Amino acid sequence: MEISSSALRLPFLFLLVPLLLFFLLSPWNPLHNLSGGGDSAGRRTQFPPKSLTSISPPPAEPLSPPPRNHNSATARNPLDPLTVGEIHRVRSILSSYQPFLHHFPSIQSMSLDEPDKSRVLGWKSGDPIPSRKAFVIALLDNQSHLLTIDLDSGRVETHEISSGSGYPMLTMEDVVAAVQTAVSYPELEASAAARGLSVANLSCISPSPGWFGPDEEGKRILKVLCFSKQGTPNFYMRPLEGLVMTVDVDRREVVQFSDTGKGIPIPGRANTDYRFRPGNKPPEMERINPISMEQPRGPSFTVTDGHLVKWANWEFHLKPDQRAGLVVSRVVVRDSETGAARSVMYKGFPSELFVPYMDADEGWYFKSYMDAGEFGLGATAMPLVPLNDCPRNAYYMDGIFVSADGQPFVQSNMICLFERYAGDAAWRHSELTVSSGGQELREARAKVTLVARMAASVGNYDYTFDWEFQTDGLIKITVSLSGMLMVKGTVHDNMNQVQNQDEMGPLVSENAIGVVHDHFITFHLDMDVDGPNNTFVKVNLVKEENVEGKTPRKSYLKPKRHVAKTEDDARIKLSLYDPSEFHVVNPSRMSRLGNPSGYKVVPGGNAASLLDHSDPPQLRSAFTNNQIWVTPYNRSELWAGGLLVYQSHGDDTLDVWSQRNRAIEDRDVVLWYTLGFHHVPCQEDFPVMPTVAASFQLKPVNFFERNPILTARPVFEEDLPVCRPSESASII
């Protein structure tokens, strides 16, 4: 592959690395594959390479865990992701498969085809694992081929050509092809020149186009946008406003070129660089001394067979996924009284991520990304930064993914797992008993949790996903946003130049508008509370009135239970003035007091999509029309926006499935929860956003007979020999 123009930049990579070097080192390089058997072949090289980091040597970088060799790994659990050897085997089966003999297709995705749920649930450690199968989505002659391949027999078991709308997840090769096509388009030179630049001064990215009707059908298209990379690694802050190229990815041609912004200045580079340099001016604040958590006896969790995590009362399977990023499966909690392992959730993962921008201009209207199905949350997850992304006591896990040629590559250190102690109490009470002569009672228990984390960098934006497990049975799921805004160039450099300030949108820097947008992350939560058959119960808090005469009160709240019989009953829009709890209970498992064992989903800060339901982006993302949905379990219904999301029309969404209105009472059900953010940018988001986070929880309700950590041991001074308060603070 010849790369002559340094204008070509991949949207997934921020760092200033000469492109040629990137291609030579990258696992995406077709010349670079794992079959050579070298120890670390296929490992995504750390960026920037050490030899290029900087002129004056920075302080020693935090050590990443040493490379791991995955070449001889074997699957030990039915849910383990495909191994390097298995990926090679799938590739070789497909290369001798009749329909692909003459032309090997582009492998858009390859992942484990998980065995049937009943097989997995019936499997115990030590049993032989069920036959391994791969699910492949391949693209050949514009058609999406869906194949399942049995690795034991070496046969293609099913082969179907998709007839619905939408294309498979994009590969890095697709992205490179689109950007290359665009940067070699002759008219681009004039657009660059009109702004005093040459094409070599640009960085271009290739966002997905959404879908807006027949003109865009029958071909895979990407939009290409360009930025000035002069004098900054943060080219996102320097758009060539009004310049949009629409590229046919397969034909490799620019089908539409539009430049309406030649009069709009490129925002300056001042203060856009976000990299640490030892000479940087420190912020005007007192320095914080180094801080870390101590674990004098080491971590308390174990990871066996690569993916099985055990910690305190929890056990779960944790795996990287090219599309979903991070998947937790078979989540089981040990009953603190009986010691019994009790099922909570079969599988949980972010199913889709929808990001619509709120600007109708030519260069902006199409921005309505679906990052999981279009680019892949795992595919865009770069190695976590030790000591900064994850604490010192973290354990790291690699992803084994597949490139377009069907070869495996390693996404190193993309998940971290660590115990967190944030100085909080898990429960407490103190009391001064006046009646018994001022006796003092003080009890508190330190709260330690376990966090599994990954971070996707989908172009400009960074999404960190945390699954946090508490010993009281609660699971907290957090999504944190950081990274770069998508800014829009403007002639204005001060709000006082505009009459109607609301028309323009927030100015975040001179000549740069932070365009308002939303983020929605829809989670697939296959709850199995004490077994697969569960019931969704909405516990509505209603106001009781007209109690005159009986009490001095005029109103009070009363919980009213509504059992959801069908999917219609389980489509929930959150409202502060119609409060409810949302329980998933097992109607055949009663507590000693006759309450069904359950878990509830506890919403936190959230936002709803206000787009018109017939707006094309909202049609495709109709899974955000409600914050909660419940569907009967169906192994084909995993991706809320549909299996093939890129340029889809919205014919295979959670909303479409839910409209079948199937029975959901006392069945194996899946709960879907959407976490949303409205983002009205402000100056603090420039040049890189401080992290913004929102969470929701899965919390036991009548699952345990009483507080499950009642008898937990407090922490005593002798447990922590290293750090003493008197040494770490100079209190006078």
Ligand X SMILES: *[C@@H]1O[C@H](CO)[C@@H](O)[C@H](O)[C@H]1NC(C)=O
**DSSP notation for 560-611:** EEEE--BGGGG-B---TTS-EEEEEEEEEEE-TTSPEEEEEEEE-S-----S
Cβ-contact 642, 648 below 8 angstroms: yes
Cβ-contact 266, 245 below 8 angstroms: no
Cβ-contact 473, 704 below 8 angstroms: yes
- The size of the interface with ligand X (CB under 6 A), counted in residues, is 26
Q: Please give the backbone phi and psi of residue 65, each rounded to the nearest 5 degrees, phi first.
A: -55, 150
358 vs 602, beta carbon nearer Cu ion? 358
C-alpha span between 213 and 650 (Å, rounded): 12
Cβ-contact 648, 209 below 8 angstroms: no
C-alpha span between 112 and 133 (Å, rounded): 6
From residue 672, alpha-carbon distances to 115, 157, 348, 633 in Å are: 22, 31, 10, 11
Q: Which residue has the tokens 């070129």?
A: 257
Furthest C-alpha separation in the chain: 91
Query: Is residue 197 a contact residue for ligand X (CB under 6 A)?
Result: yes
C-alpha span between 306 and 77 (Å, rounded): 9
Q: Which residue has the tokens 């392992």?
A: 341
58 vs 605, beta carbon nearer Cu ion? 605
524 vs 679, beta carbon nearer Cu ion? 679
Q: Which partner, ligand X, Cu ion, none, binds residue 533 by CB below 5 to 8 Å per kind? A: ligand X
- The size of the interface with Cu ion (CB under 5 A), counted in residues, is 1
Q: What residues have CB less than 8 Å from 347, skipping those under 6 apart? A: 327, 328, 329, 330, 524, 526
- In the stretch 395-424, what mask flags binding to ligand X with x, by CB under 6 A? ----------x-------------------
Output the smallest distance, CB 20 to ligand X, in A: 14
Residues 25-84 that bind ligand X (CB under 6 A): 30, 33, 35-36
Output the smallest distance, CB 205 to Cu ion, in A: 16
Output the smallest distance, CB 394 to ligand X, in A: 33
Residue type, 381: A
C-alpha span between 457 and 382 (Å, rounded): 7
C-alpha span between 266 and 272 (Å, rounded): 13
Catalytic residue among 236, 357, 395, 461: 461
H or E segment and range at residue 222: strand 221-228
Q: Which partner, Cu ion, ligand X, none, binds residue 359 by CB below 5 to 8 Å per kind? A: none
197 vs 452, beta carbon nearer ligand X? 197
230 vs 540, beta carbon nearer ligand X? 230
590 vs 680, beta carbon nearer Cu ion? 680
From residue 706, alpha-carbon distances to 51, 276, 336, 597, 701 in Å are: 58, 50, 10, 12, 10
Output the smallest distance, CB 366 to Cu ion, in A: 17
**Among 153, 198, 683, 707, interactor with ligand X by CB under 6 A:** 198
Q: Which partner, ligand X, Cu ion, none, binds residue 679 by CB below 5 to 8 Å per kind? A: Cu ion
**Among 528, 637, 655, 685, interactor with ligand X by CB under 6 A:** 637
C-alpha span between 452 and 318 (Å, rounded): 8
269 vs 678, beta carbon nearer Cu ion? 678
Look up residue 103 and give its two tokens. Answer: 């032309």
Residues 118-147 that bind ligand X (CB under 6 A): 141-142
90 vs 390, beta carbon nearer ligand X? 90
Give strand pairing partners of 675.
521
Residue type, 372: A
H or E segment and range at residue 35: none
- In the stretch 641-680, what mask flags binding to Cu ion with x, by CB under 5 A? --------------------------------------x-
| Upper half-sphere CA count for residue 491 (Cβ side, 13 Å) | 6
- In the stretch 236-275, what mask flags binding to ligand X with x, by CB under 6 A? ------------x-xx------------------------
- In the stretch 645-674, what mask flags binding to ligand X with x, by CB under 6 A? ------------x--------xx-------
Output the smallest distance, CB 270 to ligand X, in A: 14
**Alpha helix (H) ranges present in 452-531?**
501-504
Residues 674-703 that bind Cu ion (CB under 5 A): 679
Residues 13-32 that bind ligand X (CB under 6 A): 30
**DSSP notation for 598-631:** EEEEEE-S-----S-TTSHHHHHTGGGSSSEEEE
Contacting range for ligand X; rule: CB under 6 A; set: 126-134, 182-190, 333-341, 630-638: 630-638
Output the smallest distance, CB 667 to ligand X, in A: 5
CA neighbor of 357 nearest in space, from 216, 434, 459, 428: 459
**Among 46, 64, 184, 230, interactor with ligand X by CB under 6 A:** 230
Q: Which partner, Cu ion, ligand X, none, binds residue 207 by CB below 5 to 8 Å per kind? A: none
Output the smallest distance, CB 6 to ligand X, in A: 7
Output the smallest distance, CB 492 to ligand X, in A: 23
685 classed as catalytic: no
414 vs 640, beta carbon nearer ligand X? 640
Contacting range for ligand X; rule: CB under 6 A; set: 10-18, 193-201, 209-217, 279-287: 193-201
Distance of CA 515 to the CA centre of its chain: 22
Q: What is the DSSP letter of 69?
A: -
Shortest-Cβ-distance residue relative to Cu ion: 679
Output the smallest distance, CB 523 to ligand X, in A: 18
Catalytic residue among 113, 321, 371, 466: 371
556 classed as catalytic: no
CB atoms within 10 A of CB 518: 21
Give the sign of the dihedral formed by CA 477, CA 465, CA 419, CA 126: positive
Residues 527-546 that bind ligand X (CB under 6 A): 531-533
355 vs 628, beta carbon nearer Cu ion? 355
> For binding to Cu ion (CB under 5 A), which residues are involved?
679
Which residues participate in catalysis according to the annotation? 371, 461
> For binding to ligand X (CB under 6 A), which residues are involved?
30, 33, 35-36, 141-142, 196-198, 200-201, 219, 230, 248, 250-251, 405, 531-533, 634, 636-637, 657, 666-667
